[in-house]
Amino acid sequence: DAGVIQSPRHEVTEMGQEVTLRCKPISGHDYLFWYRQTMMRGLELLIYFNNNVPIDDSGMPEDRFSAKMPNASFSTLKIQPSEPRDSAVYFCASSLVAGNTEAFFGQGTRLTVV
Amino acid sequence: GENVGLHLPTLSVQEGDNSIINCAYSNSASDYFIWYKQESGKGPQFIIDIRSNMDKRQGQRVTVLLNKTVKHLSLQIAATQPGDSAVYFCAEIPINNAGNMLTFGGGTRLMVKP
């Protein structure tokens, strides 16, 4: 397995535009997580899914953020409209089962909103 | 990935020396702890884990120590190499957390001098 795959690796967009980040988890993993990493706040959990169902989205900062997981091999994180303060690196991670296992992270998408 | 940069505590060690990175956690109900390594431009990568019923666990060149009394976790790296230069995060999962939700610490930057 190639690991968690995220696209794009880099995204530069203008304020007000819609941004869609994509993630392919490791095959067979039941949990998928979206994290955001910034200099000021470190790594923050935004939302996670179990078996394609959103379980906890309390970390999503605003209604401008939404996430979907239409099937077990694909998830999106959308920001609409984007703002400069959304600039960060967004990571997707997946893990196998509930309980005490580590999560495997993708390479991240570096988002810059100008 | 964008490491939490300017505000990170930094540990600078000479190549070949041992490194000790510390982490304080706040949730006494945490049951499982993980150390992650994040190199520049990459996502966090699992290093080693430990459960709350243990106080020490060893891997290849790494040892994790857990002191539940003072809620302290440490990562020891033996014979530190230039390739160990990265940001290190501790993460915890509370007991009975069915969601595998990692809570990350702020990170420590390790710099290895040749």
Q: Inform me whether the C-beta atom of residue A25 falls under 8 Å from chain B C-beta atoms.
A: no
Average of per-residue pLDDT values in chain B: 87
Residue in B67, B58, B53, B54 with CA at minimum distance from that of residue B22: B67
Chain A residue with minimum CA distance to B49: A102
Residue in A91, A81, A65 with CA at minimum distance from that of residue A4: A91
Chain B residue with minimum CA distance to A4: B43
Bigger pLDDT: B95 vs B39:
B39
Would you say B110 and B84 are in contact if contact means Cβ atoms under 8 Å apart?
A: yes
Q: What is the pLDDT of residues A84-97, one digit of tens each?
A: 999 999 999 999 87
B65 in helix, strand or coil?
Answer: strand
**What is the Rg, in whole angstroms, of the alpha carbon atoms belonging to chain A?**
13
Q: Inform me whether the C-beta atom of residue B39 falls under 8 Å from chain A C-beta atoms.
A: no
User: How far out from the chain centre does Cα B50 lie?
Assistant: 11
- Of A37-41, A68-72, B43-47, B73-77, minimum mean pLDDT range: A37-41
Query: Using CA atoms, how far apart are residues A86 and A65, in angstroms rounded to an integer?
Result: 10
Q: Inform me whether the C-beta atom of residue B103 falls under 8 Å from chain A C-beta atoms.
A: yes
Q: Inform me whether the C-beta atom of residue A110 falls under 8 Å from chain B C-beta atoms.
A: yes
Would you say A34 and A61 are in contact if contact means Cβ atoms under 8 Å apart?
A: no
Bigger pLDDT: B100 vs A6:
A6
Which site among B92, B100, B104 would you substitute to test the A interface, given the most A Cβ atoms closer than 10 Å to its Cβ? B100
Residues of chain B found within 8 Å of residue A38, distances taken between Cβ atoms: 2, 4
Nearest to A107 among B42, B99, B107 (CB): B42
Query: Using CA atoms, how far apart are residues B25 and A96, in angstroms rounded to an integer?
Result: 25
Name the band, by pLDDT with cuts 50, 70 and 90, for residue B7: low
The CA distance from B4 to the nearest CA of chain A, in Å, is 4
**Contact at CB, B51 and A100, closer than 8 angstroms:** yes
